[in-house]
Amino acid sequence: METLLVHAAAAEAFFAKMLPEYRAAGVEIRGCPRTQALAPWVRAARPEDYGFEFLDLVLAVKVVDSLDEAMDHIARHGSMHTDAILTRTGRGPCAS
């Protein structure tokens, strides 16, 4: 995974759990200003970080306000062959 888009309504809770996990695993997190506001230790993302294949333990993170904004971001920066959108979390095999 090169880029992670997170809806604003879920960002605070999601980041509180997941970003420390990525950090502990040695992943360098590069985030938008909204990501940095929730996790000040995150390095600032550059515009070119979105859509870049790092091929390393680097993750670009961006907070979005809507599914349309996420789709627009994917259209501009995505690979068009390995993109995925999770629309909700719940109790299932991947829930913790």
Q: Which CATH architecture has domain 3-77?
A: 3-Layer(aba) Sandwich (3.40)
pLDDT in tens, 29-63: 999 999 999 999 999 999 999 988 888 999 999 99
Better pLDDT: 50 or 85: 50
pTM beyond 0.75: the answer is yes
Q: What pLDDT shows up at residue 53?
A: 86
For residues 65 and 34, the answer to whether their CB atoms sit within 8 Å is: no
The pair of structure tokens assigned to 5 is: 């888009």
The pair of structure tokens assigned to 95 is: 């829930």
